[in-house]
Amino acid sequence: MIKASILFCAAMLACALTAGAATSTVATKSVSAVLSGTGVPDTVDVDPINGQCNFDTWVDQCPSGNDNCKCIQVTSPKATGGGKGGPGTVSDFFITIDNGTNPASEPAVGGGPNPRCSLYFGVLTLTSSGGGSATTQTLNLVGTACKHVVGISSKNQTGTQDKDLISGGWGISNDPAPSPRDESGWGEVSGQVIHGTNALTMHLVGDLSK
């Protein structure tokens, strides 16, 4: 009789756990946003040895070392798009640029343009109010910023740089974790930085689960 009771209780517990798991669903949807702002050299949140940002662990890295990195803070950052309610507000937007990691290692041919792509690491805080309650996420960015030139001719073989083209990826960081609810997400980054004004635009697309 005791053995039968134990088996019955175990069966009921298993059913309860199964029922609980069945009611826990994850919603994944496509998301997009456009980030904008102006990049300015940061002299405060900077590693004194290699020059990278030290505001957050994700941007606190300089793979090439040797003082090849620089820290950029994106001022007056904004986020647009994202459907109803918008993507939220942006703060603490920092980018480490590693000029020592350049896949175009072969130098310019003759008087042609000097080839350059630089590795970057970025981080920002995004606070959104979709669904009626505010959620704070830290987004990590990684990719390359490649020199873009125009006006190449026989008289101007090097061309004139007008911007840097940005490509890469983004993901929601677990340090710090999203708050107050758990979310995960990742996707692609594209954009540009205008030469001279340092006006930055980044297009983020991807998937968000919560």
What pLDDT does 5 receive?
45
| CB proximity list for 170: less than 8 A, separation 6 or greater | 139, 140, 141, 142, 185, 186, 187, 188, 189, 204, 206
In the chain, where the domains are located: 27-209
pLDDT digits (tens, 9 = 90+) for 75-134: 999 999 865 556 789 999 999 999 999 999 888 898 889 899 999 999 999 998 765 678
What pLDDT does 24 receive?
62
What pLDDT does 196 receive?
94
Q: How far is CA 175 from the centre of its chain?
A: 14
∠ at Cα 140 (139, 143), nearest 5°?
135
Taking a C-beta distance cutoff of 8 angstroms, is the pair 194, 148 a contact?
Answer: no
Taking a C-beta distance cutoff of 8 angstroms, is the pair 82, 105 a contact?
Answer: no
Structure tokens at 113: 């343009």
Which helix or strand (DSSP H or E) is residue 68 part of?
A: none
What pLDDT does 10 receive?
42
What pLDDT does 64 receive?
97
> Within the chain, where are the H helices?
2-23
Mean pLDDT of residues grouped by 10 in the chain (210 residues)? 43 41 74 96 96 97 96 97 74 97 90 93 89 84 97 92 97 93 94 97 95
Instruction: Let me know if 124 is exposed, middle or buried by CB neighbors in 10 A (0-12, 13-18, 19+).
Output: buried
What pLDDT does 182 receive?
87
Q: Which fold, 27-209? A: Porin (2.40.160)
Burial letters 88-115, b for 16+ CB under 10 A, else e: bebeebbbbbbbbbbeeeeeeeeeebeb
Taking a C-beta distance cutoff of 8 angstroms, is the pair 174, 156 a contact?
Answer: no
What pLDDT does 132 receive?
62
Structure tokens at 101: 């990691």
Taking a C-beta distance cutoff of 8 angstroms, is the pair 168, 121 a contact?
Answer: no
Whole-model pTM? 0.84
